[in-house]
Structure 1
């Protein structure tokens, strides 16, 4: 095997990998926190942005607000605003965690600066793209508030979160590739067979997440109509979106099982890809269980954010598997100067 010599200081590479890994963890936690906001109906807990009820630190009691606060914020958002300290602080914590995540992404951007002095400039530009996308995500979050949780804005907000995760995963995989922690190389014939599976699985999972977002939006509407006392009827009142989401889960199951079986045959029960398949299958089992409970046990709020976060992690694993399967083409051809391992 030809010895690979990193073109950049090993400490800089290790620092980037460490900070990028922590950034990815905070992104998944932010998705979980965002799910909690949706599950608790706290999306309008702060009716303005970036402040909350006109203050950087939100009130804890209605007495801290002006008597006509409903007129002030209701007129702004074209709807009546009812102060609820629990929902207000859930949304506020969500915003703080968003800032915290943005800080980690900025650190990752700083860690990528040394790559500008090497022939791996793309790692810096990937990190810069993630940073700019997070800034845009913050602006999009303000539009979600100003449009009173408009369904299209919420869906765009979720899709952008997935894109940011994919960009950082790509950058992390690329750094790992040049850091001699090689992605498993796959023969061209095997790659072609499995590439269709992995691309199909990613597309199916993405569509399922989007449909799930539509179901969540439908539940919000039903909840506003029936109230929390009618929680047991929420699912049946959502209508077609829920049944499409439930039926589409069969395609998700088949695509994940097919992809996993193909990779296990390829790896012979060895290697990182094989371990990722086991993790993916375990998460899928948990996803199915939470979905069943949500559908038949009156949509317990505690499981809604878990269900969403599991879906995003499964989608992320599928993307990483795509990178593994296409490592020769994605990394070696673009990273000239690094000899291929024999």
Structure 2
């Protein structure tokens, strides 16, 4: 009787299915952690903890805030109302630890993707690109600290995080079976790609609102300062190369500039609602699309509710984090729909045990 060690049998034939299962588990774990990190990153930003440790990668030169307690106390005495406390330092460092762990997970499944490139039904190119993207995201995380929360750097960090989630969702979607999508709907992927591009533009605008602390620039709705088109300074609001809360001249950013930032994000949301909502409504009963399409409708409603709630209740932390999480959910579902539309008319490429699919 021959065994797996017999030269006539490929050495990696027996363990290949186990390694593929390990690869898929690592992919889904990294995807889940990416989503968690985006929400936790919003918590870091909204609790003003981005400079809880003003150096990088450590905290006041130490591996953790435990060794930096004396330095934190000195900083707190020097800036009693600044972004300095042991609590904020821990929030910032936990975010960094989780980001480092995500990087290790991505390295692990990228190595497996290359080793299993003959057994898997797709190229390891996307896994490799994700590894490069997470390295770039880590660099912007460091620059967020060293550039003292410069709005352009922080907004780019946010958009890169959403891009990483989009790439991870595409990678995970390839490993999950779903009902086949009718071939005539293949043309819908162009509309979904447009919807995803519009969504990312809105995410960038939302990040610009958050990093410039313009969420409460308009306290009424649907008008802003009692007018449909209030006084606004678009040049001051959308000048990219400037410090936090400042104009290029060094003066404080004006209320009209903050109003322009808020008003643009608020009104562009109508474009996103119309486009993504229309597509989701059209596909809500289509086999293979109905699950994510209905979830997209629910998330759009959630985003509208949390966006309005932040105005009426003056930016409560929980609702603000939920609003950021809803944005991540929109990316996740939109990419899932785009993937499935790209597979319209094709046989399933990923086999799973029989069961209920969506």
Q: Which TM-score applies when normalising by structure 1? A: 0.77
* In structure 1, C-alpha distance between the alignment counterparts of 2:147 and 2:262, rounded to whole Å: 24
Aligned to 1:4: none
SS of 1:322's partner is helix
Which of 243, 250, 265 pairs up with 2:263?
243
Contact 2:183 2:344 in 1 (8 A): no
* In structure 2, C-alpha distance between the alignment counterparts of 1:85 and 1:260, rounded to whole Å: 45
Aligned to 1:255: 275
Deviation (angstroms), 1:60: 7.8
* In structure 1, C-alpha distance between the alignment counterparts of 2:120 and 2:89, rounded to whole Å: 48
Deviates more, 1:51-60 or 1:238-247: 51-60
* In structure 1, C-alpha distance between the alignment counterparts of 2:289 and 2:121, rounded to whole Å: 25
Distance 1:220 1:96, change over 3 A: farther
- Residues 128-163 of structure 1, C-alpha deviation per residue, up to 9 Å, x if partnerless? 221222122112211111110111111221221122
Aligned to 1:340: none
- Residues 104-123 of structure 1, C-alpha deviation per residue, up to 9 Å, x if partnerless? 2233224323323447461x
Matches within 5 A, 1:121-270: 122=123, 124-176=124-176, 181=177, 184-188=180-184, 190-192=185-187, 194-219=188-213, 238-264=258-284, 267=286
* In structure 2, C-alpha distance between the alignment counterparts of 1:119 and 1:299, rounded to whole Å: 46
Matches within 5 A, 1:270-309: 271-309=287-325
Contact 1:60 1:85 in 2 (8 A): no
Deviation (angstroms), 1:220: 7.0
Deviates more, 1:15-24 or 1:44-53: 15-24
Contact 2:49 2:89 in 1 (8 A): yes
- Residues 277-310 of structure 1, C-alpha deviation per residue, up to 9 Å, x if partnerless? 1111122222111111111211112222221121
Contact 2:192 2:279 in 1 (8 A): yes
* In structure 1, C-alpha distance between the alignment counterparts of 2:77 and 2:146, rounded to whole Å: 15
Q: Which runs of 5+ in 1 are unaligned?
A: 1-7, 75-79, 226-234, 335-342
Aligned to 1:41: 48
* In structure 2, C-alpha distance between the alignment counterparts of 1:318 and 1:121, rounded to whole Å: 21
What's the C-alpha RMSD, in Å, of the aligned pairs? 3.4
Aligned to 1:22: 29
* In structure 2, C-alpha distance between the alignment counterparts of 1:103 and 1:212, rounded to whole Å: 29
* In structure 2, C-alpha distance between the alignment counterparts of 1:172 and 1:299, rounded to whole Å: 33
SS of 2:199's partner is helix
SS of 1:302's partner is helix
Contact 2:50 2:145 in 1 (8 A): yes
Aligned to 2:99: 98
Contact 1:19 1:104 in 2 (8 A): yes
Aligned to 2:239: none
SS of 2:284's partner is helix
* In structure 2, C-alpha distance between the alignment counterparts of 1:141 and 1:309, rounded to whole Å: 19
Distance 1:146 1:262, change over 3 A: same
Deviates more, 1:11-20 or 1:295-304: 11-20
How many residue pairs match? The answer is 300
Contact 1:59 1:65 in 2 (8 A): no
Of Structure 1 and Structure 2, which has the larger fraction of its residues in helix? 1
SS of 2:104's partner is helix
Q: Which TM-score applies when normalising by structure 2? A: 0.74
Distance 1:243 1:184, change over 3 A: same
SS of 1:219's partner is coil
Deviation (angstroms), 1:28: 0.5
* In structure 1, C-alpha distance between the alignment counterparts of 2:35 and 2:73, rounded to whole Å: 37
Q: Which runs of 5+ in 2 are unaligned?
A: 1-14, 218-243, 246-254, 350-358
* In structure 2, C-alpha distance between the alignment counterparts of 1:68 and 1:306, rounded to whole Å: 31
Distance 1:275 1:88, change over 3 A: same
